[in-house]
Structure 1
Amino acid sequence: MPQTLRFSIVIEAPRRRVWRAMLAPDSYREWTRAFCEGSYYEGSWEQGRTIRFLDPNGNGVVSEIAEHRTFERIAIRHLGGVAAGVDDTESEAVRDWAGAFETYDFTDEGAGTRVSITTDVPAKYEEMMQRLWPAALARLKALCEAPAST
Structure 2
Amino acid sequence: MKKLEFTIEISASREKVWDALWSDQNYRKWTAVFIPGSYYEGELLEGNDIRFLSPGQHGLFAVVEKVIPFQSMHFLHFGLVLDGISQGKTFSENSIEYYDLYETEQGTKLTVNIHTEEEYVTYFSNSFPRALNAVKELAES
Aligned to 2:23: 24
Deviations 1:25-48 (Å, cap 9, x if unpaired)? 000000101100000000011000
- 1:97 is displaced (CA, Å) by 5.8
- Structure 2, unaligned runs of 5 or more: none
Query: Does the CA-based 8 Å contact 1:89-1:98 persist in structure 2?
Result: no
TM-score (norm 2): 0.96
TM-score (norm 1): 0.90
Computing the radius of gyration from Cα coordinates, the structure with the larger value is: 1
- Structure 1, unaligned runs of 5 or more: none
Deviations 1:5-52 (Å, cap 9, x if unpaired)? 000001101000100110010000001011000000000110000110
2:129 is equivalent to residue 130 of structure 1:
no
Deviations 1:88-130 (Å, cap 9, x if unpaired)? 124xxxx346640110000011131100000011100000100
Q: What is the rounded CA distance, in whole Å, between the counterparts of 1:97 and 1:113 in structure 2?
A: 31
**How large is the Cα RMSD of the aligned pairs?**
1.1
Q: What is the rounded CA distance, in whole Å, between the counterparts of 2:35 and 2:80 in structure 1?
A: 16
Q: What is the rounded CA distance, in whole Å, between the counterparts of 1:45 and 1:71 in structure 2?
A: 13
Alignment of 1:68-147 (within 5 A): 68-90=67-89, 95-96=90-91, 99-146=94-141
Runs of 4+ in 1 over 3 A off after TM superposition: 96-99
